[in-house]
Amino acid sequence: MTTAAQAAPLVVAEGLVKRFGELAAVDGINFSIAPGEVVGFLGPNGAGKTTTIRMLSCNSPRTGGRLDVFGLDVARHPREIKAQLGVVPQDNNYDPDLSVFENLLVYARYFGIPRRVARQRAGELLGFVHLSDKSAERVDELSGGMKRRLILARGLINTPRLLVLDEPTTGLDPQARRLIWERLRELRQRGVTIIITTHYMDEAEQICDRLLIIDNGRVIATGSPPALIAEHAGQEVLEVVPEGGASGALEAALGECRFQKLGDKFEVFASDCPEALGRIRKQARLTSYSVRRATLEDVFIRLTGRELRD
């Protein structure tokens, strides 16, 4: 059963366009995000993820289309939107001239949060991101993971309805990443809607309810991680390395099967052509083959190609 309040989306983008001169960084994106969802934006560098997020945070005027956050137009109500928005940007733009605690207090002031409330919230948030004992320290002295957690705490100082994170765990060690994931899951349980961009497929699979795969400024696929894998990569991937000169024969054996080549290795999406396995087994000159579960990375590479993006 869906009530009207539940159905009203928190973010709606329709035909959203952002041009920088000739270049269309965002080229007609459509999506809508429901309250409580955790949505991941996946895409190669330059796909338009960060540009979309910057438009969403009301700091980059759109060229065309519609973009509403909390039912408000981003161009006409930036202050109202930003008051309820939490942002964790790609760069750690903490204030190096201030202590950890002051970073939160000063940021709270930008939102007009009364001093007493700000002090209380800053204390709670430092506990939430495990930084309570660093409160008085200078930010420059923190480790990379701690800095990132401070930025996360700062993004929560106004108890936002929507939290937007641009590559929140890039460059962190596995422990630090896990701590951030855990905190994000807890926020989701509290009903905070989350938008996250990432290059890490495990991150996308771990924390996102739904993914938008973006390339060349467009949404090219959307769905939950398991649904995307099932649709675009199937259950299993067969990895085959043919012996020298046998790749032609292998390609013939594959027939209609979907596959991609990585150097001399063939990755065959075997689920939609089970008979391929049998045919390949019969190929005498195959040195090795193995079967593994299809992953989100298979989907990503299939959809966005393998050439390098910068």
Beta bridge mates, 66:
14
Select from 6, 45, 59, 288 the one that contacts another protein (CB under 8 A): 59
Select from 34, 72, 106, 230 the one that contacts another protein (CB under 8 A): 106
- Asked if 93 touches another protein (CB under 8 A), the answer is yes
Residues contacting 169, CB < 8 A, separation 6+: 148, 176, 177, 180, 181, 198, 200, 203
Nearest distance from C-beta of residue 200 to another protein, angstroms: 23
Nearest distance from C-beta of residue 282 to another protein, angstroms: 59
d(CA 122, CA 120): 6
Touching another protein, residues 255-284 (CB under 8 A): none
- Asked if 159 touches another protein (CB under 8 A), the answer is no
Spatial contact of 214 and 49, defined as CB atoms under 8 Å apart: yes
Say how many residues make up the chain.
310
d(CA 51, CA 226): 27
- Asked if 158 touches another protein (CB under 8 A), the answer is yes
For residues 139, 143, 147 and 148, what is the CA-based torsion angle, rounded to 10 degrees?
A: 180
- Asked if 89 touches another protein (CB under 8 A), the answer is yes
Spatial contact of 111 and 157, defined as CB atoms under 8 Å apart: yes
Nearer Cβ to another protein (107/289): 107
- Asked if 107 touches another protein (CB under 8 A), the answer is yes
d(CA 195, CA 204): 11
d(CA 257, CA 259): 6
Nearest distance from C-beta of residue 86 to another protein, angstroms: 9
For residues 32, 58, 129 and 39, what is the CA-based torsion angle, rounded to 10 degrees?
A: 20
Select from 22, 112, 245, 306 the one that contacts another protein (CB under 8 A): 112
Nearer Cβ to another protein (6/93): 93
Q: Per-residue contact track with another protein, 63 to 82, x per CB under 8 A?
A: ---------------xx--x
Spatial contact of 229 and 298, defined as CB atoms under 8 Å apart: yes
Nearer Cβ to another protein (103/271): 103
- Asked if 46 touches another protein (CB under 8 A), the answer is no
Nearer Cβ to another protein (78/223): 78
Distances from the Cα of 91 to the Cα of 144, 276, 302, angstroms: 11, 47, 29
Using CB under 8 A as the criterion, which residues of the chain lie in contact with another protein when the complex forms?
Answer: 20, 57, 59-61, 78-79, 82-83, 85, 87, 89, 91, 93-98, 102, 106-107, 109-112, 154, 158
